[in-house]
Structure 1
């Protein structure tokens, strides 16, 4: 009887501690706007999410992102494709945690979430690399005067340069794209010589690009401290998802039904 009571108390204590641990995990997890985008576009087989802009409000100590979502529509019978073959959604400013801002501080103008043929990819890559660059339906590789191969969209798809936020003189070289093929889905990719991302973003119309370097340095310092403080307090803004559409359902407790869509159409910031 004495031993039975002892083991009963041990088992009870185990379940109490386990329950507290699970409760703590739910309490400290903070969803990011990217999580909501996964929910919103979960039924799409192909889409891309680009970090279109970012900002920091010093008076409120708050961090923000803007996203551009690109969704290819069902292909038409006509061989002449236009901008109407894509649904473009430009979100309003979305408040993000210091952890999320720090995670993507080098990703301006990059694809930070994509799905290709139902497979989800949360690794950062140059805009367009996930579904369009290297796809013979949209363009071809050409060779310049020094022998380097670069990607060129067909005439009817020239608008895609603006869709991806590529500035004048922006080129995607074959050696970078080939390297990306080796790393896709396994790690973030910024080009062989780190030629892509925030420091080299060519869209000078973005809010972030217009900020002075002194401001950017302050933000970098502040977000590092804030993110570290959040993590030490047990907070997290990162959630793992299944790579397969078939394994990712709307009933998962990782998701919320709220939508981030604000307006669609056009390529403005």
Structure 2
């Protein structure tokens, strides 16, 4: 009798564990997760979605990333800061090649082209999207200053030493001296930083922003982009209905690098972003 009860209880426990396991999300690992792991020892960096594409012949989605890694701060004079010839030595720029991403990841970031989609500041991760550079470099006197247009509006201008940021964040067609309006930065800093993604008061930042004119995606016909956006939304929904998710979907809150390292080692790759 005792043996029967033992096997009965054992069966119940196994069923409970199986049900619990089936409810756990099945993570689709992305190249962004790999970046977090690769630069786990770096305390300050930004990841920008530099480009995106879809290959119809293989039915695969792709991303390119630009990673800005902050190194030790140099001691520069005012003349050195205003120097437009020498490039900065305290920010390392890494441009990745094309990385395959899952439909879930592509769908999550389809409106974020040219934006910072991941940042790490003082060891804390922020997975919310924001206009490129606005969370780390704009408003930081180490890199530039607020200036005033002739019409009285205030904007951010990078020092000459960091003028390449103007091209990276705003696009070369805007020219040196162009910058984010102070009102936008104030809105982001007060209401969105470390809380939720920011696209501007009129949703002007992101994929449709003027700085993205030289990307592969921006050069695609609108019919192609509309078709891909519709297709990827359906594919992502299908995967989610089967229990798949991404680390961004699962948690948008900032984490310390050590906590993320432990959780990412347990996530499933799902065949993407290896």
TM range (shorter): 0.7 to 0.9
Query: What SS does the aligned partner of 2:100 have?
Result: strand
Cα pair distance change 1:40/1:12, threshold 3 Å: same
Greater mean alpha carbon deviation, residues 77-86 or residues 146-155: 77-86
In structure 2, C-alpha distance between the alignment counterparts of 1:131 and 1:225, rounded to whole Å: 35
- Which region of structure 1 is more displaced relative to structure 2, 52-61 or 152-161? 152-161
Paired with 1:95 and 1:250, the residues of 2 have a C-alpha distance of 24
User: CA deviation digits over 1:120-159, x for unaligned, max 9?
Assistant: 1000001001210000111111111222111011122112
Q: Is the 8 A contact 1:39 1:250 kept in 2?
A: no
State the partner residue of 2:16. 17
* RMSD after superposition: 2.5
| SS across alignment from 2:166 | helix
Measured after TM superposition, the shift of residue 248 of structure 1 is: 3.8
**Equivalent residue number for residue 43 of structure 1:** 41
Distance 1:180 1:24 in 2: 36
* Alpha-carbon distance between aligned partners in 1 of 2:88 and 2:132, rounded to the nearest angstrom: 17
Kindly state the Cα deviation for residue 7 of structure 1 after the two structures are TM-superposed: 7.5
Aligned counterparts, 1:175-186, within 5 A: 175-181=183-189, 182-186=191-195
Which residue is equivalent to 2:113? 108
The DSSP-based 3-state class of the residue aligned with 1:152 is strand
Where 2:212 maps in the other structure, the secondary structure is: coil
**Range moving further from structure 2, 96-105 or 225-234:** 225-234
The alpha carbon displacement at 1:252 in A equals 5.3
* Change over 3 Å in CA distance of 1:123–1:251 after alignment to 2: closer
Does 74-83 or 174-183 show the bigger shift? 74-83
Deviation at 1:31, TM superposition (A): 0.4
What is the CA–CA distance in structure 1 between the aligned matches of 2:41 and 2:32, rounded to whole Å? Answer: 15
Please name the residue that 1:264 is paired with.
Answer: none
Name which of 245, 254, 257 aligns with 1:245.
Answer: 257
The aligned counterpart of 2:165 is 160
Q: How far apart are residue 77 of structure 1 and its match?
A: 3.2
When structure 1 is superposed on structure 2, of 17-26 and 101-110 the one drifting more is 17-26
Where structure 1 has 5 or more consecutive residues not aligned to the other structure, the ranges are: 261-269
User: Aligned in 2, Cα 1:227/1:210: closer, same or farther, shift over 3 Å?
Assistant: same
Q: Deviations over 1:84-139 (max 9, x none)?
A: 32211111111111111010000000000001111110000010012100001111
Q: Which moved more, 1:247-256 or 1:82-91?
A: 247-256
* In 2, Cα distance between equivalents of 1:246 and 1:161: 33
Partner of 2:84: none
The CA deviation at 1:220 is 0.9
Paired residue secondary structure (1:52): strand
Contact 1:57 1:63 in 2 (8 A): yes
Given that 1:138 and 1:153 are in contact with CA atoms closer than 8 Å, whether structure 2 keeps it comes out as yes
Counterparts of 1:235 and 1:249, CA distance in 2: 20
Query: Is 2:33–2:264's contact at 8 Å kept on the other side of the alignment?
Result: no
